[in-house]
Structure 1
């Protein structure tokens, strides 16, 4: 697998971790049973979306735990700034993390659209953009086939590489989870993506992302925990990461 493909596989994992935002300022969520993860129930996903997370001016500083026995969290940020329209995209919000990368979002009337990702040395644009409907019923899935083209970020506009992604986003349902800041009711999503690459030397790969977003609290819509699994076709899993928010140091959502 070449370096551009490896970078593409690594950054979604980093971004999933950085996306883990606040789940409570020392208090519990809607359900503070303290009895561990709760069963999934039938309720739609509207309560787990917050458009303020994607408005310029939003700024969050938080900490996360990446291992079950970890006690000191890693610092992370979520900063939103405007991104001007280009020939390839409309005007959007640019969400920057602590990992020298950023993702481009647009909140549509009924969905969150992810148009691409920015690195220090390249820019990736997805056609069509990845779509997350604001309201999904438990068990509902959205299927897309997306092409992401990466361009060298030197002003030349030269194409560096491309990937085709078969994308299935399923809203599993509601689930109460335990975090270092209490128990919270969440919306659980599972995203499966199968990648094929323009480089014939890069092996097709499946990435599975499981995400738990906070429901019905002042932190509505934040990703409280996330799992990220990478498995090249015909091989064993090569990457399996799990992260959870542990502390919020700054929380300013517009």
Structure 2
């Protein structure tokens, strides 16, 4: 799912709480009449044998449910996903989008303990001058049949060699550390098991915090709205094969109405096979990319 970028120069806004109205429900009972009968009193009939009703059958599973399109193995530590996707008509050799996600286990984030997903680690260096490392993480969880989205974080570390010209080695020292975190408060929560045509929406806020060498800038907060729509099942032909998939659209809007920023994604997730639960097509509705290569290794 696409991250929400918040412009830190935008004005701050507070998400207003919506009070719920209480509904009172009352029930009425009835009574019976009495009196003496003019007819002789006959012996009371023997009570009929009590009939035990068989238990109601369990509801049949919904054939087009979205539940098979989510994979609980994604949340196991050590699960690794690598894929490559190409937009229609594009040259795979030059424009392929690549992504790697590694489930790292639970990590403290935003006052909670969600599962951390390392979705990008990049390292670079210039011999005898500096070393640079960037790490991008997303924080999610699977709780009581719902996917919870807590937010994401980006961290960059730069080490330099105080003795320029020396060989690359242990002489490098930490020069600066910067980070940006975007937190959904409360976390977005979407059900795993949805019916075709079902829409799940939620109000939240995005709180962005930036730090540099341990110093934090004032946090910015903007209202946010997330809306997930499940359109149903579709057969999808891909270079990996033909799969039964679940089609979703996810819309996220951030900011007050006058200056809100919105983005809509369309996603086709596999409902079967070795890639169950993984994205096979998406994300731009106008030109969705198609996955051409995938390696999925559950933890």
TM-score norm. by structure 2 comes to: 0.61
- Residue 141 of structure 1 corresponds to 199
Match of 2:289 among 214, 220, 243: 243
Spell out, residue by residue over 1:136-181, the C-alpha distance to the aligned partner (whole angstroms, 9 max, x if none): 1111111101101011134445444223112211111001122222
CA radius of gyration, larger in: 2
Q: Is the 8 A contact 1:224 1:245 kept in 2?
A: yes
Q: Where do 5+ consecutive residues of structure 1 fail to align?
A: 8-40, 230-239
Q: Which of the residues 174, 197, 203 maps onto 2:259?
A: 203
1:51 maps to which residue?
A: 72
Aligned position for 1:76: 99
Map 1:91-130 → 2, pairs under 5 A? 91-98=113-120, 100-120=135-155, 121-130=179-188
1:122 CA displacement? 0.6
Counterpart among 221, 228, 233 of residue 162 in structure 1:
221
**How far apart are the structure 2 equivalents of 1:163 and 1:67?**
35
Structure ranking higher in helix proportion: 1
**Greater relative CO, 1 or 2 (CA 8 Å, sep 6+):** 1
Shift of 1:92: 1.7
Question: C-alpha separation between the residues in 1 aligned to 2:197 and 2:230?
Answer: 6
Name the count of aligned residue pairs. Answer: 204
Instruction: Report if the CA contact (8 A) 2:252-2:264 is conserved.
Output: yes
Write the mapping of 1:153-192 to structure 2, written as runs, cut at 5 A.
153-154=211-212, 155-192=214-251
- The CA RMSD measured in Å over matched residues stands at 2.7
What is the distance in 2 between the residues matched to 1:187 and 1:141? Answer: 14
In the alignment, is residue 60 of structure 1 matched against residue 119 of structure 2?
Answer: no
With structure 1 as the length reference, what TM-score do the two structures score? 0.71
